[in-house]
Amino acid sequence: MDRKDFLRLSLGGLVALTFGCTRSKYERLKQINEGIYAFGELNLAEGQNAALLVHPYFVKLDEEPKYFQNLEEFIPEYDGTLITLESYIKLERTASRIASLGRVRNAVFVPSEIFNPTPQGITWDELTNFLRRFDKSLLKLLGGFYRGENKGCLGVVEYELNSRNLETEVLHEIIFS
């Protein structure tokens, strides 16, 4: 077997593994809207507080220990709906981690592309419309790589939502850069 055959077989195996996981990856989650998942029934009230986590477990604990401490204190204590935008290949693992912190009620998950916060299965407009159901003031943004508006995954999300007239507030104590 030459290098070209090896790479083709490896890529084929990776594609098969990825697509095989995709079919069952959201077993613990129930689809509540197109491209939006939760652990079960949600009790969503108009005007309820909401926070959007973006790729919260992208970095390693030893790289950002203070970030992880703040994040994992925030998740179970937050009084509102917690929406997580996570790469579709990591969504189930992130959902399990959030559940292990005691956050099952009012936890929503939106799959995104890999290394990209673009929602998968819905458009930015559809995601923004879903988020408008919550607090009419500022949507809290946290948990992602941020270097200012439109820089880093969290910055891109901030830009996309603000450009659709959804006001946001970045919680700087719970981001990484």
- Domains of the chain (ranges, CATH numbers): 27-174 (3.40.50)
Mean pLDDT computed over every residue of the chain: 82
Average pLDDT of the segment spanning 79-105: 93
So what's the pLDDT on residue 123? 97
Q: What is the pLDDT of residues 31-67, one digit of tens each?
A: 888 899 998 767 766 667 899 999 999 988 788 889 9
**31, 93 contact by CB (below 8 A):** no
Q: How many CB atoms lie within 10 A of CB 21?
A: 13
- The pTM of this model reads 0.81
So what's the pLDDT on residue 144? 85
Tell me the C-alpha distance between 29 and 94, whole Å.
Answer: 12
